[in-house]
Structure 1
């Protein structure tokens, strides 16, 4: 699986809720930075986040742009879904990935388009 396929597979796995498979795409010591959370470090933290902390109940990512360059990638897209409290959400996001030598995700940084200033 090439890098872009791995990225697309990640979002597919998130959308169907396959936590064990999506966590396997990350390096053992991967770092995930997401607004509103302390950095998640390692597969165990990622699994805990996706099982217990993520405020999203269900939804679908649509990728509009994926740019891959050497050991990194930038992704832009939208997410539409439902939160655990029942609210509907539609938002734009950007993710930035870096990769280990084996091709797993070494890091991921997520940004949401939200009015703050």
Structure 2
């Protein structure tokens, strides 16, 4: 199978989440998406993924700064910094995200790691 990773789609992800354009964001993901976040329950499927972004995301607003983006086969790895608001607090933290694509060019699995205990 030819590599399916799409670094432009990953950059679009950060642009869309920062702009809170969630319906456009959901278009980037497979219906059976799995989102893993250490220390928290996985999000399994589009229904849970949608609920997270529309109702449960702990970050109220902010901006992702991508420092590096690496493509390998069906996966795009990203290292960056997020600056924004969580509750009543201004936050800034580093992150590493991995986005694995399916054969249809959609993000099928996403992993997020941060240098904070709670996000």
Q: Same fold (TM over 0.5)?
A: yes
Runs in 1 of length 4+ with deviation above 4 angstroms? none
Q: Map 1:1-117 to 2 at 5 A.
A: 3-83=6-86, 85-114=87-116
TM-score normalised by the chain length of structure 2: 0.90
1:101 shift after superposition:
0.5
The one of the two structures with greater contact order (alpha-carbon pairs below 8 A, sep at least 6) is: 2
Question: How far apart, in 2, do the equivalents of 1:37 and 1:24 lie?
Answer: 24
**Cα deviation, residue 36, structure 1:** 3.8
Gaps in structure 1 of 5+ consecutive residues: none
The count of corresponding residues between Structure 1 and Structure 2 is 113
TM-score by length of 1: 0.91
